[in-house]
Structure 1
């Protein structure tokens, strides 16, 4: 659930991102906080950025002009990094959203995190691993698809396919174990937090599921309970590895 009090700065490398992602991107950003700054960087005199104009106006994104001074050098990256540092030193923000698939922003993400702020990265699947790892959370833009569920390219994987994904199974089981109490039950929030810390680019939508709880349930490897904390508050999801249940001593009659 988004916290409206969290102030975010959204910086978009327009030379390295498609205009079609603008609307779903900002919808995703809204899950994490409020975008108080929305800027897109590029050489707006260039014809290859003309598709951005409509989105800049529609989404109220401020275009920042940056001419390419020298062939082969990316002046846009430099301008974006300088602005990011200025915004960081202003002390007005709780986090940054860096939209690019360029590894040049790896050190920037690390530096922002060193100051205690959160960094959300957004980019294509080709994004180099160092930049992904430098972010607190990284979202691949291909899953930010505004189409209806039935038209989306990523269909839900079956339980059989999910179980065959050893890396996924180990990641989920280890996270549940790490967040569990003495009875083996773990709150979904704690599990999700551990997973993100281990793999910033993890997203249930990459497996065809909108939520982590749906993905975990689909594996059929875990017990899932929805418990009411009372006082009219929403139910909380708890998860337990089915292996834990099998290892429990049987109750005596």
Structure 2
């Protein structure tokens, strides 16, 4: 019995030591700003979201129900993959495919680190597939379906936008059309916390590693196609307005029928 107790105690002690070693190893990994940046980039490349949240500030906040259980958490990147849920359904699987596609060809170079006490600026070059036209392709798809739909097509647009992240006609279906390489120079801020350095997940950093997915400028061909569809849609709207005016005028031209007729029986 004594041997059994000692064996169990030894096993527990070993587990605690291993856990402590793992934690110490991670802190050693983020000992410098450059190592923290490398840790974040490797975590993104492999979709190791636990490490991403330990070496970067991806986590934002938690929503809880009336008894204190977390119902939803907010993250800066890959938000849907980190939600508290017992079952991972269709939406999770589609967002996982989206994330895998985003990081498939991700690479980076750290050129300079300027450290100042508990903060540091890290200059990086981030390379990925050029995703700058993906949202343009997605908008073209929405416009084309709106033009085919009845009436103004607004119902079709709302249906498309509600399924933006995982629908078969959503963003994922247009990512295979991405061409070329996006190379972005970005400066990322790191700060020193209780467990080593952490990288700030800024908007510019997110856009860089996502291959300029949130681009403000589209390619000339995509921009031209969008403008043509917008002009066509304006013509459809104008035509619908004219038809409504004619219909209203026709209804007004119909002479009114007898109203308020009273019949008296004598």
TM-score calculated relative to the size of structure 2: 0.28
- As a proportion of its length, which structure holds more helix? 2
Higher-RCO chain (CA-CA 8 Å, sequence separation at least 6): 2
